[in-house]
Amino acid sequence: MQHASPGTRPLAGRRAAVTGSTSGIGLAIAEGLARAGADVALNGFGDTAPALSAVGAHGTKVVFVGADLSKGPDSQKWVADVTQALGGLDILVNNAGIQHVAAVEEFPDDKWDAILAINLSSNFHTMKAAIPAMKAQNWGRIINIASAHGLVASPFKSAYVAAKHGVLGLSKAAALELAETLVTVNTVCPGFVDTPLVRGQIADQAKVRGMSEERVINEVILASQPTHRFITSEQVAEMVLFLSSDAASGITGASFSIDGGWTAR
Ligand code: NAD
């Protein structure tokens, strides 16, 4: 395995895969990893060209490996495909996720299943597929993007809150299993980040609560965060870069809040 040497970019020689990296936070993480010198595999729905061009601008190898990661066998095959495309896998970032906002008694069964599948079960399936090779090379970083909703709840988000709490539990269990190796497993718990996912939520919350979108932003979304400012995707990416570094080798089974003080109260 290659290691960064003085004068090179900190993640030079590392091979990273980021789920849901065609948009929002995942795209910023993929860009950050490439800027730090890693080769990167992208994934997600929608137009792939802008992501390939933004992440590819940093001069490392960048590939797109499509898959619907809400399907277990497809998630496991995706790991095999990215490992083949990059010649190995050192850093796995589980970021793909969706949201649906409704009261429990009105929550559509299919939305519950879909949210659990992509926000929680896909993390299990990709980890299950990636861990054997990481153990064999005795180096790996698994970073799961949970949410402030992995630590606390909000009304109308039962499936999302259940899935994100599950991501923290899954990550802690895997971290303990891998503790004697140099494979670490951690979670990042962002507050509200202004991405397409949150824009969709603002519209949904406006409907559920009978409020204007502007009132939802100020009185519901940013009201949760004492800073009253959105977190940026780049701030989340910086935490992922640190957790990917050798300096973070003593950190495992931990969760990192980037939530403007939300969970401090
Ligand atoms: P986004 O909608 O901008 O991006 C989500 C990405 O996941 C897209 O690339 C999408 O194509 C991909 N995706 C969705 N379903 C998929 C599937 N079945 N298979 C493969 N890819 C799929 O959302 P975002 O806000 O950037 O969210 C990214 C992650 O961050 C999610 O896990 C979300 O829960 C989490 N998060 C977001 C916020 C926020 O405020 N935006 C806060 C905390 C946590």
- Measure 66 CA to ligand 1 centroid, in angstroms: 15
For the ranges 73-82, 152-161, 201-210, which has the lowest average pLDDT?
Answer: 201-210
Ligand 1, atom nearest to 146 Cα = 44
Average pLDDT over residues 132-141: 98
- Measure 3 CA to ligand 1 centroid, in angstroms: 30
pTM for this one?
0.95
The model's confidence at residue 7, banded by pLDDT at 50, 70 and 90, is low
In this predicted structure, the answer to whether residue 1 has a pLDDT above a threshold of 80 is no
- Average pLDDT of the chain? 95
| pLDDT (tens digit per residue) in 71-118 | 999 999 999 999 999 999 999 999 999 999 899 999 999 999 999 999
Please give the pLDDT value at position 187. 98
In this predicted structure, the answer to whether residue 2 has a pLDDT above a threshold of 60 is no
User: Which percentage of the chain shows pLDDT scores above 70?
Assistant: 97
- Measure 47 CA to ligand 1 centroid, in angstroms: 15
Please give the pLDDT value at position 204. 85
The model's confidence at residue 4, banded by pLDDT at 50, 70 and 90, is very low
Please give the pLDDT value at position 47. 96
* Ranges for all domains in the chain classified under CATH 3.40.50.720: 15-191+232-259
**Which CATH superfamily groups domain 15-191+232-259?**
NAD(P)-binding Rossmann-like Domain (3.40.50.720)
User: Which percentage of the chain shows pLDDT scores above 90?
Assistant: 91
For the ranges 36-50, 90-104, 162-176, 193-207, which has the lowest average pLDDT?
Answer: 193-207
Residues enclosing ligand 1, CB less than 6 A?
A: 19-20, 22-26, 43-46, 68-70, 95-98, 118-119, 145, 147, 190, 192-193, 195-198
Q: Is 160 a catalytic residue?
A: yes
| pLDDT (tens digit per residue) in 21-67 | 999 999 999 999 999 999 999 999 999 999 999 999 999 999 999 99
DSSP-derived secondary structure for the chain: -----TTS-TTTT-EEEETT-SSHHHHHHHHHHHHTT-EEEE--SS--HHHHHHHHTTSS-EEE----TTSHHHHHHHHHHHHHHHTS-SEEEE-------B-GGG--HHHHHHHHIIIIIHHHHHHHHHHHHHHHHT-EEEEEE--GGGTS--TTBHHHHHHHHHHHHHHHHHHHHTTTTTEEEEEEEE--B-SHHHHHHHHHHHHHHT--HHHIIIIIIGGGSTT-SPBPHHHHHHHHHHHHSGGGTT--S-EEEESTTGGG-
* Catalytic residue (one of 64, 112, 139, 160): 160
